[in-house]
Amino acid sequence: MPRDIDPRLLRAFTAVAEELHFTRAAARLYVAQQALSRDVRRLEREVGASLFVRTTRRVALTADGARLLPYALRVLAAHDALADAFRADTGRPLLVDVGAQAGTGHRVLEAARERLPDSCELVARFHGGLAGAAEEIAAGRLDVSFGRYAGLAPGVRAGLAQQPVRLEPMAVLLDAGHPLAGRAAVPLAALAGETLYAAAGNPRTTEWTDLAARLFAGRGVAMAAPFPEIDGEREFARTVRKRGWSVLASTEFIEVPGMVLRPLVDPVPLSPVSMVWRRGLRHPGLDALRSAARELASEGGWLTVSGGRVWLPEGDAAVMGVGAGE
């Protein structure tokens, strides 16, 4: 046994030991699965023992792996405590952009607040759009946001960390008098010939507009012409109603008077939502947000792809640690 073991190797080992799944462990650590496997093999060489039994169907700890796990957890806890002791910003409020007072980000925020003492403050922002939020995070004006991580440029992602939170089924917001509004769900094929608003022209939401463009391609669905950023829920409702737009949305969305939200099906398009923060950030509020997100995802099956037909771009599937849709 070597005297010094790289904590990164121990993190790789404990993630796999807790998940018993290399793909999920890699997503949890924000690394490629191949890199995770290399770290585990290196640790096995350093300790001189096999730590996992791997088959095509399951991963399990060996006796040596089970013996190492409690020691690894104690070492990592001490390592994290040392890092936290020299962080000066853990007592300040954490700024969290959730987009709106509805949806995945807001639910995670509310659940995290219930876990924290009054002395730790999570301050909400309601701007929305991960592209814009990423710039704010990089500049230190924001700490956490939610959205489609795969839609960010690689250079932007290099300074960020992310945790997959949810695969949100997508929906369409329609005028109550629209011919499709009477359906319980709207097949994608029924949108052929329709024009949908998908935030084109808003520089803060380019990742969402790109996802919409991928979904509309080859289906005869047009995107509404670029329009300036719409700030706030009331202004959004006013503008959408005045311009007569149908809107690409998610199944959890703000209420707009005179309009109805209908899920999209055949296939069900999925909007990938990650929690995103500045790489290296340590804060008890961030810990609470991550814990709340994991708990909500587990309880709600938020990261589970059902057996039905779904649509999800390959790059997004890789980020979220699931298989791609059609």
Structure tokens at 138: 């990089």
Q: CA 12 to CA 35: how far, in whole Å?
A: 9
Q: What is the DSSP string of 170-182?
A: EEEEEETTSTTTT
> Are 18 and 52 in the same domain?
yes
Residue 269 has pLDDT above 90, yes or no: yes
Instruction: Report the CATH number that the domain containing residue 135 is assigned in CATH.
Output: 3.40.190.10
pLDDT at 86: 53
pLDDT at 271: 96
- Residues 165-179 have pLDDT tens digits of 999 999 999 999 999
Band of pLDDT at residue 305, cut at 50, 70 and 90 = confident
> Are 206 and 254 in the same domain?
yes
> Are 247 and 285 in the same domain?
no
Residue 191, domain extent = 168-269
- Please indicate, yes or no, if residue 276 is contained in any of the structural domains: yes
pLDDT at 4: 79
Residue 88 has pLDDT above 60, yes or no: no
Residue 9 has pLDDT above 90, yes or no: yes
- Please indicate, yes or no, if residue 2 is contained in any of the structural domains: no
The percentage of residues in the chain with a pLDDT greater than 70, rounded to a whole number, is 94
The CB-side HSE value for 197 (13 A sphere, CA atoms) comes to: 21
> Are 238 and 297 in the same domain?
no
Residue 240 has pLDDT above 80, yes or no: yes
The percentage of residues in the chain with a pLDDT greater than 90, rounded to a whole number, is 69
Instruction: Report the CATH number that the domain containing residue 13 is assigned in CATH.
Output: 1.10.10.10
Q: Which of 28-32, 103-107, 199-203, 315-319 has the lowest mean pLDDT?
A: 28-32
Alpha-carbon radius of gyration of the chain: 22
Residue 294 has pLDDT above 80, yes or no: yes
Among candidate residues 37, 63, 85, the one where a domain is terminated: 85
Residue 87 has pLDDT above 60, yes or no: no
Residue 145 has pLDDT above 90, yes or no: yes
Residue 138 has pLDDT above 80, yes or no: yes
Residue 70 has pLDDT above 50, yes or no: yes
- Please indicate, yes or no, if residue 133 is contained in any of the structural domains: yes
Is the pTM value of this prediction over 0.75? no
Band of pLDDT at residue 66, cut at 50, 70 and 90 = very high
> Cis omega before residue 7 (within 30°)?
no
Q: How many domains does the chain have?
A: 3
> Are 33 and 116 in the same domain?
no
pLDDT at 55: 86
CB 322 within 8 A of CB 302: no
pLDDT at 254: 86
CA distance readout (Å), 94 to 30, 104, 124, 162: 22, 18, 9, 16
- Please indicate, yes or no, if residue 325 is contained in any of the structural domains: no
pLDDT at 27: 84
Instruction: Give the pLDDT mean for 182-202.
Output: 95
